[in-house]
Amino acid sequence: MIHYQLSINQIGTPTRIAKLLLQDGKCNYCGQYFHENDNIEIDHITPKSLGGKDEYQNLQLLHNHCHDHKTARDGSLKPKFSGHKLPLNYRWVKDMLILVDEDCACDNQVS
């Protein structure tokens, strides 16, 4: 996943400036004001992976942690990983990808 990460001092393009003004200097996700040292990311309101376009109307500025939270909730990561098979020695355990050592008896507890 690629995020466009920048500090508030680096917001210089016309699109970023316009979005910052339109949003009254606030994150569209949490509603809190951006501060000088905040990392601000450009987000697709409707994710591109879910049919969203790379258009001005579909962009917003979010804190980087808000962007991560929104992305986790909106399901935009799922299409990127669906259909991919894991190598035989990897397993998902409680939302973590782990390497299973078939020769180690301790790994039998992980399944």
Q: Where are the domains of the chain?
A: 5-81
- Is the pTM of the predicted complex or chain greater than 0.75? no
pLDDT > 70? residue 44: yes
Q: What does the alpha-carbon distance between residue 95 and residue 110 come to, in Å, rounded to a whole number? A: 12
Q: Tell me what pLDDT residue 74 has.
A: 82
Distances (CA, A) of 53 to 38, 44, 48, 109, 110: 26, 8, 6, 45, 41
Q: Tell me what pLDDT residue 73 has.
A: 85
DSSP 46: S
Distances (CA, A) of 7 to 31, 34, 99: 18, 10, 36
- For the beta carbon of residue 106, count every other beta carbon within 10 angstroms: 7
Domain at 5-81: CATH architecture: Orthogonal Bundle (1.10)
Residues 5-14: tens digit of each pLDDT = 554 444 458 8
